[in-house]
A and B are shown apart, each in its own frame.
Chain A
Amino acid sequence: MSTYLLIDTSTSRTSVVIVGDGKTLFASHHDGALSHGESLPELVAQGLKIESKIDQVIVGMGPGPFTGLRAGISFAQSFALGRGVPWLGVCSLDAIASEISEKDFLIAIDARRKEVFYARYTDGSRIGEPKVCQPSQLDAFDIPIYGEATNQYPDPSEFISIAEAGATYSQPIYVRRPDAYPAPIGVKFRPMNQLDLVPAFAIEKDSYGHEAWTMAQFKEEFAGKERMYVAAEFAGGLIAYAGVVNLAGTADVLTMTVADGHRRKGIGRELLRRLIDWSRTQKCEAIMLEVRVGNEEAIPLYESFGFIEISKRKDYYGPGKTAIVMRKELT
C-alpha cells in the first residue's frame, strides 16, 4: 500500500488530504476564493509533519476558476518532481459526485462571471465532459443539483478510487477558452453599409458555395427592420460581417462570416460580442443561433459565450445537414 498526497483547489475551498495504507492520516481545508496560493503550502506543510513519506500525488484538475486551479496543479506537479514520485490529475466534480447516491443528478460549481461549471451523472458515472452555463439554465434538466450551492466540495479522499478507475487527466479541465482576447490588431469594426454588400456577397459565396444567400436575398435581409449588421475591415478591405435581428424580444443571429485567411484570429469572437451587446440594448431576453453539426471552430466559441444547445434542426442546411440550435439567456 502507498501513501498519497491529495490536493484540490478547484473551488473556493483549498483541500489537502494524506492517505496512507487506506487510512486518512491528515485532512484539512481552508475556505477563500483568492487564497489558494497561500493556503495550499501551509496545509501541506501541516500534513507533512504528520506523514512526510509520500509515494504519489493526485490533484483535482478542475473544472474551476483558473487562477486557483492552476496554483494547485502547479504545486502538485512540482512537489512530485521534487520527491521523484508520480502525479495524476482527476476531474474535481467526480469527487463531489462520488459522495452522492442518487440515480440522476448534476454537480455544479461556481465558474465566476455569473456562470457555473457542471456535469451530469447517471448511475454513478459522468455523462460527457464538464460544461459551462448560467445557473438558471440548469433548471431545464429538472434533476437535483449538488455542489458549492449545497455546501458540497470535492473531497480529495475520493481521488484515489477515481484515479484507480482510470478517469485521469493530464491537462487542466479548462472548459472555457482563454478569455480577455483583445481585438485583433489592425482590424476595424464598424456598422455595415450598402457599399459593403458587394464585397460581403463575394465572401458569402466563397464561404458557403451553393448554400450562400443570393444577392437578392442578401439585399432583402440587409434592408429588413429591427436588425443590426456589423462589418470588420482590414487594410481597407471587408473581411467579415455579421447580423442579428430582434424577433419579438428574442435576438436571432442571421449570419456571421469571416473570410478565409482571416479565421482563427478572434474576429468571430469580436463580431459575436457586438451582436450580443446590441441584443442587450434592444432588451432581448435571449439570443439564438444555428450552427452546423460538427463545426468544431464555431461551437466552442459559442459555448465560451454561454450559448447552450437547445435543439437540432434536421436538413437545415440541405439534405442530411443538421443544424444545432443554441441559445444564450441575456437577462
Chain B
Amino acid sequence: MKNSEALVLGIETSCDETAVGIVRGRKLLANVISSSVEEHARFGGVVPEIASRAHLEAMPSVIAQALSDAKVSLEDIDAFAVTAGPGLIGALLVGTSSASGLALALDKPLYGVNHLSAHIAVDSLNSEHKLDPAIALLVSGGHSSILQINDLTDDVKTLGSTIDDAAGEAFDKIARILELGFPGGPAIDREAKSGNPDAIEFPRGLTLARDLVDHKYDFSFSGLKTAVSRYLAKTPNHLRADVAASFQEAVVDVLLMKAIGAAKETGIETLIIAGGVAANSRLRDLAQDRTQKAGIQLRIPPMVLCTDNGAMVAAIGSLAVAKGLKPSQIGFAADSSSGISKPIF
C-alpha cells in the first residue's frame, strides 16, 4: 500500500441507500450500505420522507462500520466527499450535513460531488488503468444517460439522456404490471431467464430516422411501457416470462445501440457501463458481444459497486485530491437537479 496516497471517506444519501465508503488512493478499503428499500417495497417506489428518516437513523452506525472495515479511525481520514446532487433534496441534505459536521470537527477538506460522475469514478477502484477518455452508459432507477468522459473530475459532457422514464424506472413499472414485485430490475431479469426475448416485438424508443435528428443519444421508455400494457390487455393468455424477456430485450437493445454508436462516432474506444441496471445479466452479456464485434473495450464495475454506494463517492473524492483540486466551499448548497457539467461542487 502506498501510504502517501490520500485516505478519503465518501458519503452517499441521494436516494434510499445510506452508504459510506473509504478508499486510499484507488484502493477500496470499505463499502458499507444500509438500504431502506424494504420499507419502500410496499409502496412500489421510493418515498422521500421515509428515505430521509432512514438516512438520519442509519448514518452513525454506517460510518462506524466503514471505519472498522477499513481498520482506520476518523482522525486518519485526509479528506471527505459527499454526494451533493442530483437526488432527493431532503435525503441529500442528511448526507451533506453529516459530511460538513465531520469535516469541520476534524478540520479536513470536504468535496461535494456529482452523483453521476461518482457512478463512473467507481471504475477507477482497485485498478491501474487509464480512466479517460471514455464513453459511459449510466443506467439506474434514477438516470439513463450517455456521457462523454474527457476528464472525470473536470470535463464530463452529457451526450444524451432519457426524455421520460429512467431505464430502472421502466423495469419497476413493468414489474409492477406483471406482478413481479419491487425493485423491478432483478425480478424481471430472473423471470426473463425462462422466456423468449424474440417472442414479442416491442418498440425501440427514439430510434426512427426522424427521432435521431434531435435525439440521437436520448432514450424514451414510456412508449415501451404503453406497448407492454396494451399487449397484456389484448393477450389474456400471455406467457409472463416471454413478456419479461421481450421487454428486457427492447430496453437493453436500445441502450447498447446508442452507447456503442456514441463510442464509434467520437472515436473513443472505451465503454463503461455503470449504475444499478448494469447488474442486469442480459445487458452484460449483450454488451460483451457487441463491444467485441465493434472493437471497443468494455468495462463494467463489480455488481456491488454498480448500485448506489459510498465507495464511488470516495473514489471521485480521491481522484480530486490526487489532482490537487480545491475542496468545495464550506456551506456549499446541495442541488437536487444538478447537471453533470459540475463533477465537483
Contacts and interface: CB of A to CB of B under 8 A. Distances in A.
A45 B330 CA distance: 8
B59 A71 contact: no
Given A67-B52, A82-B74, A45 B104 contact: yes
Chain A CB within 10 A, most for which of B90, B94, B104, B182: B104
Contact of A181 (B43, B74, B93, B105): B43
A285 interface: no
B94 A82 contact: no
Given A79-B104, A178-B47, A185-B43, A38 B331 contact: yes
A42 B330 contact: yes
A172 B43 CA distance: 24
A199 interface: no
Q: Counting chain A CB atoms within 10 Å of each CB, which of B94, B179, B182, B333 scores highest? A: B94
B100 A75 contact: yes
B44 A40 contact: no
Contact of A78 (B49, B59, B90, B334): B59
A37 interface: yes
B143 to A, nearest CB: 21
Interface string B56-83: 1001100100000000001000000000
A184 B101 CA distance: 37
B100 A40 contact: yes
A71 B331 contact: no
B333 A182 contact: no
Interface in A88-131: none
Contacts of B59: 74, 77-78
B180 to A, nearest CB: 12
Contacts of B101: 41, 74-82
B45 interface: yes
A76 B94 CA distance: 11
A37 B59 CA distance: 17
A305 interface: no
Interface string B84-98: 000001100111111
B129 interface: no
B49 A66 contact: yes
Interface residues of B, number: 40
A172 B220 CA distance: 41
B37 interface: no
Given A74-B98, A78-B97, A178 B53 contact: yes
Interface string B166-202: 0000000000100100100000000000000000000
Interface in A146-197: 172, 174, 178-182, 184-186
A327 interface: no
A122 B52 CA distance: 34
A142 B178 CA distance: 57
B286 interface: no
Interface in A271-328: none
Contacts of B49: 66, 178-180
A48 interface: yes
Contacts, number: 126
A185 B106 CA distance: 46
B56 A73 contact: yes
Given A41-B330, A181-B47, A77 B52 contact: no
Nearest to B333: A38
Contacts of B333: 35, 37-38
B241 interface: no
B73 to A, nearest CB: 9
A77 B98 contact: yes
A39 interface: yes
B331 A41 contact: yes
Nearest to B106: A82
A182 to B, nearest CB: 5
Contacts of B95: 74
A83 B105 contact: yes
B332 interface: yes
B60 A71 contact: no
A35, A79, A83, A172: which has the most chain B beta carbons within 10 Å? Answer: A79
Report which residue of A45, A82, A185 has the largest number of chain B beta carbons within 10 angstroms of its beta carbon: A82
Contacts of A44: 104
B79 to A, nearest CB: 13
Contact of A37 (B63, B96, B104): B96
A72 B90 contact: no
A78 B42 contact: no
Given A42-B330, A265-B42, A67 B90 contact: yes
A180 B103 CA distance: 33
Contacts of B332: 38
A41 B332 CA distance: 9
A70 interface: yes
B203 interface: no
Contacts of A41: 97, 100-101, 104, 330-331
A81 B53 CA distance: 19
A76 B98 CA distance: 8
Contacts of A178: 47, 49-50, 53
A8 to B, nearest CB: 14
Which 3 pairs show the lowest CB-CB distances between chains A and B?
Answer: A82-B105, A78-B101, A79-B101
Interface of A: 35-42, 44-45, 48, 66-67, 70-84, 172, 174, 178-182, 184-186, 265-266
24 contacts: A38-B331, A38-B333, A41-B100, A41-B330, A48-B104, A67-B89, A67-B93, A70-B94, A70-B97, A71-B94, A71-B96, A74-B95, A75-B101, A76-B101, A77-B59, A78-B60, A79-B101, A83-B105, A83-B106, A84-B74, A172-B56, A178-B49, A181-B43, A185-B43
Given A39-B331, A184-B42, 14 more contacts: A36-B93, A37-B96, A41-B100, A74-B95, A75-B98, A78-B97, A78-B98, A78-B102, A79-B105, A82-B102, A83-B105, A83-B106, A172-B53, A186-B179
